Amino acid sequence: MKKTFLAIAVLLLGCQTSTSPEVVTYDIKDFFDNISIYGGYFSSDEEKLIYSSNESGIYNVYEVALSSKSVTKLSSSEQESFFVRSYVPNSTDFIYSADQGGNEINHLYLQKRDGITIDLTPGEKEKSIFYKWSQDNAFLYYLSNKRDSRYFDLYKMEVDEWEPILVYENKDNFSLSEISNNEQYLLLSKAVTTSENNFYLFDVTQGQSIEIATLPGSYSSAGFSNDNKSFYYITDIEKEFSYLRKYDIQTGESSVVFETNWDVMYSYASKNEKFRIIGINEDGKNSLQVIDMVSNKPVTFPSFDDADITGITISESEQKIRLSVGSSKMPNDLFVYDLNETSLVQLTTSLNPVIDSKNLVKAEVVRYASFDGLEIPGIYYKPLNATSQNKVPALVWVHGGPGGQSRMNFNPLIQYLTNNGYAILAVNNRGSSGYGKSFYKMDDKNHGEKDLQDCIWGKKWLQELEYIDTERIGIIGGSYGGYMTMAAMTFTPEEFSVGVNIFGVTNWIRTLKSIPSFWEASRKALYDELGDPYSQDSIRLKKISPLFHAERVKNPVMVLQGANDPRVLQVESDEIVAELEKNEIPVEYVVFEDEGHGFRKKENQIEGYRQIKDFLDYYLKSPPTIPANKKRID
């Protein structure tokens, strides 16, 4: 693995030190010896679960027996992360996806238990997405852009034959939402904006479509009924929050199935429609309901104290349920609940045993007024040792997007920084998802302006806390959050003492012109929200791009970047670093040659995130008394 470091100084940290009698602090390696788990799918005999875990340093595939809890490692990748999608029905073989170095050109692979691996989608530039198995388990459905890199067609492969069969050729730039069991109907959508789309029921046999989106709004599929006579969908038409509806294909009538005062994120039925699962975005955390479709009553699960059920899979027999359970201070673990025996079994333990969760911070939801009185929600982490006598530095944390959301899940970098004495306010500025469609639209063609003010007023909220050192507040974020970091350091240079930009956009004109071809379905919607770089919008896009105003930056900046990032190209970070160096602003730069848009390898996470803390310790926690244009030398 090759890394490039410009203006980097690394401090050596001890494994454990004590900042106070009450709080033990941990090294970055301790936090990344926690395990991150993806998925959890039942075997055909329902005696095992298959999942991906980064226990080895990157994501590999593992299998756990439900009875003995014994774990078997099924893959041994050392370069690329493997994300398992499913067992092959009635087999111990499995399907996983992987890209190359973070380039997001994912292929689907068949891993056989005799050790043979087959690339099912071997096109050099073919991006493929696992969709589902057919109701009878005879076929694998998947999406692929091999015909045209801009559009995803629907294919199927017969199990054991594994030859692609075209099901639907997507010539009109639709996004496939669902296919009925008899393959007669498709649900298709076309983005209008990032908050609105058209939604169609397409009859394959007739070659005709009916538009379901008769009113402007957001629409997404929640599955066809097994008898192919109806389908479910999630929409926000005439409402502030998304809710669940059912549509009768013969009559064309629809009715409300479920709604609450938060967004319904997703919904689907179990194999034989005994249960319907509904996922709700409830103030920054997952709230799950499983409804018995016969009694129409919710299924009761055991309580998990301060943790939440963040994910769920129901077995084909509909007798066992896989639960992913975690919280802001506990990484997700896998549990299986047996409905017949009403028994619960924990299968994994993801928290590093070196770490006592009592030394971690439980996040809390807070709200504060922005410059115009708008209420801004946030997720707040207060260091355990922060008091009016022991004032601590703070960071405003900005999520990705635009349109993302900071949530109440486990974030090892946030816990690492908080454990080491940094208060963190993860702002959900206007334009964030989860707080209604009006709030979501508030930053359209307004990025780097009102949303930036929301971050600054988050800083002001922090300054009102008696245990915060009001002169030591920085800003940090990744992707869109990285852009907001650089916007803050550029356009409001006096507000934040430091900025940490993790693969953030610095030149909107170039980024919007270089959108990956496989994002073609959402290109127009992105241009509608952010601006069309080929139009007069380019004037405003240049105005809000930090690269063109870098001479205004006054305070130290750190930049981290993946060389294979297809979303925010490395040149974005190269150029802003060069400008800051030209202007003699302290800047530190880390490039990982084997990463993309997000760092997956533990060794890179440890290296990069340790240096974030070193940078913050030097420039924020104990700011030097040397001239501002001098870099630190360790």
pLDDT tens profile 290-317: 999 989 899 988 888 888 899 999 999 9
The two structure tokens encoding residue 195? 């908050």
Residue found by looking up tokens 């004495």 in the block: 421
pLDDT at residue number 2: 33
Q: What is the pTM of this model?
A: 0.92
Q: Choose the weakest-confidence range: 334-338, 416-420, 468-472, 515-519.
A: 515-519
- Give the tens place of pLDDT for each residue, 237-274: 999 999 999 999 999 999 999 999 999 999 999 999 99
Task: Provide the 8-state DSSP code for 260.
Answer: -
Can you tell me the distance from the alpha carbon of 155 to that of 149, in angstroms, rounded to the nearest whole number? 15
Hey, is 285 helix, strand or coil?
strand
Which residue, 508, 456, 521, is CA-closest to 480?
Answer: 508
Which residue, 77, 76, 79, 109, is CA-closest to 94?
Answer: 109
Tell me: pLDDT of 628 over 60.
no
Q: Which residues make Cβ contacts (< 8 Å) with residue 231, sequence separation at least 6?
A: 178, 180, 185, 187, 201, 221, 222, 223, 224, 225, 246, 247, 249
Which residue, 214, 209, 258, is CA-closest to 233?
Answer: 258
Which residue, 417, 454, 422, is CA-closest to 435?
Answer: 454
Integer-rounded Cα Rg, in Å, for the chain is: 25
Give the Cβ contact number of residue 256 at 10 Å.
11
Can you tell me the distance from the alpha carbon of 40 to that of 49, in angstroms, rounded to the nearest whole number? 6
- Give the tens place of pLDDT for each residue, 584-615: 999 999 999 999 999 999 999 999 999 999 99
- Give the tens place of pLDDT for each residue, 510-538: 999 998 888 888 888 899 989 999 999 99
E strands in 495-556? 499-502
Amino acid occupying residue 242: S
Torsion angles phi and psi, residue 269, rounded to 5: -100, 155
Tell whether domain 35-269 is in CATH 2.120.10.30. Answer: yes
Cis peptide leading into 331, omega within 30 of 0?
Answer: no
Tell me: pLDDT of 7 over 50.
no
DSSP string, 460-473: HHHHTSTTEEEEEE
Q: Which residues make Cβ contacts (< 8 Å) with residue 266, sequence separation at least 6?
A: 222, 234, 277, 278, 279
Hey, is 341 helix, strand or coil?
coil
Which residue, 600, 520, 571, 472, is CA-closest to 97?
Answer: 600
- Give the tens place of pLDDT for each residue, 112-149: 988 899 999 999 999 999 999 999 999 999 999 999 99
Can you tell me the distance from the alpha carbon of 430 to that of 440, in angstroms, rounded to the nearest whole number? 6
Q: Where are the domains of the chain?
A: 3-30+355-507+545-621, 35-269, 270-348
Can you tell me the distance from the alpha carbon of 6 to that of 284, in angstroms, rounded to the nearest whole number? 37
Hey, is 254 helix, strand or coil?
strand
Tell me: pLDDT of 475 over 70.
yes
Split at pLDDT 50, 70, 90, the class of 27 is: very high
pLDDT at residue number 245: 97
Residue found by looking up tokens 């990069």 in the block: 608
Can you tell me the distance from the alpha carbon of 185 to that of 205, in angstroms, rounded to the nearest whole number? 8
Tell me: pLDDT of 18 over 50.
no
Torsion angles phi and psi, residue 491, rounded to 5: -90, -20
Tell me: pLDDT of 15 over 70.
no
Are the C-beta atoms of residues 51 and 334 closer than 8 Å to each other?
A: yes
Overall CATH class of domain 3-30+355-507+545-621: alpha beta
Tell me: pLDDT of 375 over 90.
yes
Helix or strand holding residue 599 (H, E)? none
- Give the tens place of pLDDT for each residue, 411-423: 999 999 999 999 9
Average pLDDT over residues 170-183: 93
Tell me: pLDDT of 630 over 90.
no
Tell me: pLDDT of 548 over 70.
yes
pLDDT at residue number 21: 44
- Give the tens place of pLDDT for each residue, 53-64: 999 999 999 999
Residue scoring higher pLDDT (13 or 179): 179
Average pLDDT over residues 214-233: 96
Split at pLDDT 50, 70, 90, the class of 445 is: confident
Residue found by looking up tokens 């991006």 in the block: 127
Hey, is 456 helix, strand or coil?
helix
Tell me: pLDDT of 485 over 80.
yes
The two structure tokens encoding residue 243? 């809710």
Q: Choose the weakest-confidence range: 220-229, 302-311, 425-434.
A: 302-311
Split at pLDDT 50, 70, 90, the class of 19 is: very low
